[in-house]
Chain A
Amino acid sequence: MKHSIKSHFFDWFSGLLLSYSQVFFSKSKIFSWFILIITFTYPELGICGMIASLSALVFASIIGLNNTYIRNGYYAYNALLVGLGIGYYYELNLPVLVVIVLAGFITLLLHLWIEQWLYKYRLPVLSLPFVITLWFVILSTRELAFFELSDRNLFVLNNIFALGGQNLLSFYTWFNDEFLPPLFKYFFTALGSIFFQDTALAGFVIFIGLIVFSRIASFLAILGFFSAYYFMHFIGIQNEHIGLMFIGFNFILTSIAIGGIFIIPNLYSHLWILILTPVNVLLTISLSSMLQNWQLSIYSLSFNLIILMFLTSIRSRYKGNRKLIETYYQEYMPEKNLYSYLASKGKEINSGPVLLLPFWGEWTVWQGYNGNYTHKDLYRHALDFVITYQGKNYKGNGATLDDYYTYNKLVVSPGSGWVVRIVDGIEDNPIGEVNLIHNWGNSIIIKHSEYVYSQMSHLKAGSFKVKEGDYVRVGQPLAHVGNSGRSPEPHLHFQVQAYPMLGSPTIEYTISRYLLIEGKNKKLLYKTVPSEQDHVENIQIQSNLAKALHFIPGTQIEVTLHENMRITKYDWEVFTDSLNQTYIYSKTTHSYAYIYKDDLMFYFRSFHGKKTDPLYLLYCSCYHIEFAVLPEQKFTQPYPLHLIFPFYKTFWQDVFAPFYNILKAIYSIKILSNSYSSNSIIIESNMHKKIWIKEYLFAKATITIVQQKITKIEWYDKNQKTVYLTYKNKY
């Protein structure tokens, strides 16, 4: 498909606008307008920034780079800063203009080069291209005669008078000298200096934009700056001019990036800022004096280095740290990252292979992790299972193997993988005796992935249904439980280990899903290790439900919304993006929703668009569906708050959100009926909002699945809406 000139202009315009907020890792248009207007307090400066940014965008189009990245300003924010920098130092004339255009191009080239270079370490480009290009330009211009140093930064008051006359000037003097406490003056000046502004007023306006964009980021900006300020004070640095010297904003940007963008904002991300800032201060000072030799400023160099080093360091962690969580799915806003993370907790997309229980029906954990008998030391992460009935694991007097419910029961594969080892031929012990020569008895070891092996032991000789080298699928019968090895009574020993040897040390590994039986109730558990004496049951996937929620890319969906006697039509299509993530896109309204599906569940990762869109109704009503959920069993999940509550309701709690959530939005579903017949699954979903302790139902929906497709959503809130879906295959 050829990109028309018109759409190029659209891309450039959008890219230009968003390049302003991109500096704060944001994609907010409102925030961009705040910054854009501020850069025009010196009109020449504003023009320079815009030209450099446009230059990068146009060159990006000419080179043929990805339109999405052009449109969201990703290729332009570095050039924007370079342009502003040149505009700040020099008087604008034609040769300078040409240099700005070229500088925009160089910034783009540097951006692409650094991007390729850092990409393999999954590190961001940040503003390195800006720093390097601006150095290039400054160093080169010392040889060029037509570059005249601008004096506008020396006469701030003159400029303000020129901009807004006496009124603005007196407002400025009042604001600067009387209204603002000196500390905040430094803070706002530092914030403004990101865009080469030298007044606290400019910084103040940007800060308002920052609050509109993100409360968490605003708080982080303050935290970063003041921790640096007080640290500098502590080590005795004269810090009145940290705003003006283009170094103060390093602490602000570092704080936002680590505290809320690359890391999920929480108490620990905030605490890390307090550790990182002093380091950043030292780095800033040393780099500044290093660059003094060339009479260059460090700009955002220390911010770049700190972020790159810190991200690399946390990615080298051996074990996942639950306290400091990397943002898996970047939504370019600390609040969104946080709320999405809180809602997706436990879904853990990027984790090891799925392991289920290695049997069918209800069993009991006889010995759990760190058990009293044999699950100790290297073997502490093991589970022993038996079948019990009315509290006993045998019938009659329990004298023979056949009296034991567990004996001869089938063992099935907990996950898919290769059979790497089978030990067979060891006779069953009589009840009460153990075989200490062949400790493990008849066993099977399955490789699920590198460093994830499962071992099942004390099986019955000659009962294996697979052989070494076979590929087995989850649930495939492997062998029968026996009483071989160190087993006085028939039981199944199950452990996960990192190596393929018989009796390798155990590792902690959760069961992806299982049912915990509590009296008459069965509770579906995620990624949990069963405890001793738990009654557990393997799950059963309802395959017709799984099929119904399979949105195949290329599928076109015709949607009709019936509301108040009015019928509206929409066109949807299922796509995958370059990261192989599937999303449903509404061609009519340009809303889209990212989805995730595996063998066990379906859920919506995100929704982008208006809350009146029928796609939003689909998002809310089918937000998270577990395929193993039993009919008539309720299943609940939290929603990401920002997608349920209106902006004005989350605004105030956003500040506290990293520490405590006042608002909650809860999704629950119940499968009302699921028949073998292809034509009926009915799901009821309820959506609750909770403010403090007050909980209320805000909407309710009934989803009808016919012929393995969602065909109807009946939505009830204040008014009733019905959405009908019909499917076509494009290919």
Chain B
Amino acid sequence: MEKKKFERPVIKKVQIGMPSKFGLKSEYAPIKEIDGVPVKDLIQQYGSPLYVFSEKTIRETYAEAYKAFSTRYPKVQFAWSYKTNYLNAICKVFHREGSWAEVVSGFEYEKALKNGVPGNQIIFNGPYKTKEDLVTAIKNHSYIHIDHYDEYYMLIDIAEELQLRPQVAVRVNMDTGIYPQWSRFGFNYENGEAWDIVQRILISNKMDLVGLHCHIGTYIMVPWAYSTAMNKLIDLFLGIEKKFNKHLQYIDIGGGFASKNTLKGAYLPGTDTCPTFDQYADSITSTLINSSINIEHLPTLILETGRGLIDDAGYLLGTVHATKRLPDGKNSYITDIGVNLLFTSFWYDYKITPAQEFGPYTEESVVYGPLCMNIDVLREYVQLPPMKKGDHFVISRIGAYNNTQWMQFIMYRPNVVLIDTDKKTHIIRKKENYETFAIQEQIPEHLK
């Protein structure tokens, strides 16, 4: 029989004024394993902290999202948003599932090509595309989503210079009735700029206009906002059909589906408030189907969902380095995971779950990272069962943005592991060491 776990006693103030009548459930189970692989073994084998991705979850989430759209609309294409997570293994899982690539920089473009994505399955977005980037993209027949007039002029120059026809779409921004309105990317719908660029492209006849694109924001909690956006794109689509007798090939509605993480300051947890893929899909596809677009010319619907597809599949495993009682009496933990590894904790209240058994009592705690900086706080206020030095914990739903926005600040970045569908583990990014950085650095002769 296993020895019963000792847990130090906690003193807890009786609380009043709970967020709701029933309060928040504080009883929850530890995460002792991921896809059947024990957390303890993972940390033992690959060290702590450790990023873990579940291939099974990625594929299941993708299948669920794809099903939600493909059973409602005949032509659906997902494009994996590289900036959300561009670890090659992760990208390849999505490409295997049938996703194209959506990139926003020359670096990402290069990555997509190296991952074996054919040029004509790469969507090139973003406000900053250099001439070299554009030339490569045009030569590979990738779809360039024009962001501003200067980019359009640059494309005309390149097209004339190379005698090639770029394949382009127009990025449109618009008021969809939500706050904030993203107006810095693309051409505005309401003030007529979007229609203006469409006309210019089609009249100049230097490039092929193949689609329309918008991306109304991020973490959109209301599906009807997509419906509003789609209606405005359909208006442009039909306008082009009417005036130029041209049927565009696709409408790219972008991404921005909320994952089940809880935003800081949210009243209720994300698991309860975020819409499902079905709700988003219903809103988007019914707008398209009920529009006056002729059934034979229905455009392909492209989705650039990033966060919604990967967040759930990512876990960050960490270890308690020290416990410390703060002057105000609050308990705090110093852990090996800080904002350097969990950049997104700036806006999410991540769920932290111990990786070993714990009792029913929780106490108010602060979770700090390892950095020698005041802002390195993972959770300012969280109810946690008492943990001691050396205990492991799991932060879930961290798949999006953390492996692209992480920082190498005073420490090396750890291993990233993928658990495949046969429960085998694979390192998909090795932990860094001195050599990783030394190779990039150069010392001038006089300092040697």
Contacts and interface: CB of A to CB of B under 8 A. Distances in A.
Nearest to A410: B72
Contacts of A449: none
Chain B binding surface, main DSSP class:
mixed
B71 A473 contact: no
B211 interface: yes
Interface string B397-436: 0000000000000000000000000000000000000000
A540 B67 contact: no
A432 interface: no
B73 interface: yes
Contacts of A465: 290
Contacts of B63: 389
Nearest to B210: A676
A387 B296 CA distance: 25
Nearest to A409: B71
Nearest to B300: A676
A476 interface: yes
Interface stretch (A20-28, A102-110, A359-367): A359-367
A405 B281 CA distance: 13
Interface in B217-264: 249-250
Contact of A677 (B67, B73, B120): B120
Nearest to B141: A677
B295 A473 contact: yes
Contacts of B165: 677, 679
Q: Interface centre among A476, A537, A676, A678, by most B CB within 10 Å?
A: A676
A387 B71 contact: yes
Interface in A473-518: 473, 475-477
B72 A409 contact: yes
Contact of A675 (B60, B64, B121, B289): B121
B393 interface: no
Given A360-B70, A362-B67, A362-B70, A678 B208 contact: yes
B85 interface: no
A696 to B, nearest CB: 30
Interface in A367-403: 387, 389-390
A586 interface: no
A677 B208 contact: yes
Contacts of A361: 67, 69-72
B283 to A, nearest CB: 13
Given A389-B67, A677-B167, A538 B74 contact: yes
B118 interface: yes
A78 to B, nearest CB: 52
Contacts of A409: 71-72
A389 B64 contact: yes
Contact of A360 (B71, B120, B121, B143): B71
Interface in B25-79: 60, 63-64, 67, 69-75
Contacts of B67: 361-362, 387, 389, 405
A239 interface: no
Contacts of A363: 71
A680 B120 contact: yes
A576 interface: no
B208 A673 contact: no
Interface residues of A, number: 28
Contacts of A538: 74
Contact of A477 (B210, B282, B289): B289
A518 to B, nearest CB: 15
Given A361-B71, A540-B74, A676-B300, A475 B120 contact: no
Interface residues of B, number: 29
Interface in A655-695: 673, 675-680
Given A387-B67, A477-B289, A676 B74 contact: no
A309 to B, nearest CB: 48
A405 to B, nearest CB: 7
B295 A676 contact: no
Interface string A391-423: 000000000000001001110100000000000
Interface string B294-311: 011000100000000000
Given A387-B67, A677-B208, A680-B120, A360 B141 contact: no
Q: Interface centre among A359, A361, A412, A679, by most B CB within 10 Å?
A: A361
Nearest to A539: B74
B249 A676 contact: yes
A540 B70 CA distance: 11
A390 B64 CA distance: 10
A360 B167 CA distance: 28
Contacts of B296: 473, 475
Given A360-B74, A477-B295, A410 B289 contact: yes
A410 B289 CA distance: 10
Contact of B71 (A362, A475, A477, A675): A362
A676 B250 contact: yes
A75 B71 CA distance: 60
B145 to A, nearest CB: 13
Contacts of A389: 63-64, 67
A469 B171 CA distance: 41
A132 B387 CA distance: 111
A389 B277 CA distance: 14
Contacts of A360: 70-74
A390 B118 CA distance: 31
A673 B141 CA distance: 11
A197 B58 CA distance: 83
Given A389-B67, A475-B295, A476-B295, A677 B210 contact: yes
Q: Interface centre among B63, B72, B75, by most A CB within 10 Å?
A: B72
B323 to A, nearest CB: 40
Contacts of A359: 71
Interface in A60-110: none
Contacts of B118: 673, 675
Nearest to A543: B296
B119 to A, nearest CB: 8
A476 B249 CA distance: 18
A475 B249 CA distance: 17
A540 B75 contact: yes
Contacts of B300: 676
Interface in A535-574: 537-538, 540
Contacts of A676: 120, 143, 167, 210-211, 249-250, 300
Nearest to B72: A410
Interface in B89-125: 118, 120-121
A389 B165 CA distance: 43
B141 A675 contact: yes
Nearest to A360: B74
A679 B141 contact: yes
A389 B278 CA distance: 13
Contacts of A677: 120, 141, 143, 165, 167, 208, 210
A680 B140 CA distance: 10
Contacts of A405: 67, 71
A42 B72 CA distance: 80
Given A360-B74, A389-B63, A675-B118, 20 more contacts: A359-B71, A360-B73, A361-B71, A363-B71, A410-B72, A473-B295, A473-B296, A475-B296, A537-B70, A538-B74, A540-B74, A675-B121, A675-B141, A676-B210, A676-B211, A676-B300, A677-B143, A677-B167, A677-B208, A677-B210
Interface of B: 60, 63-64, 67, 69-75, 118, 120-121, 141, 143, 165, 167, 208, 210-211, 249-250, 282, 289-290, 295-296, 300
| Shortest beta-carbon contacts, A-B, top 5 | A675-B120, A361-B71, A361-B70, A676-B249, A677-B167
Interface of A: 359-363, 387, 389-390, 405, 408-410, 412, 465, 473, 475-477, 537-538, 540, 673, 675-680
24 contacts: A360-B71, A361-B67, A362-B67, A362-B71, A363-B71, A387-B67, A389-B63, A389-B64, A390-B60, A405-B67, A405-B71, A410-B71, A475-B295, A476-B295, A537-B70, A540-B74, A675-B121, A675-B141, A676-B143, A676-B167, A677-B120, A677-B165, A677-B167, A680-B120
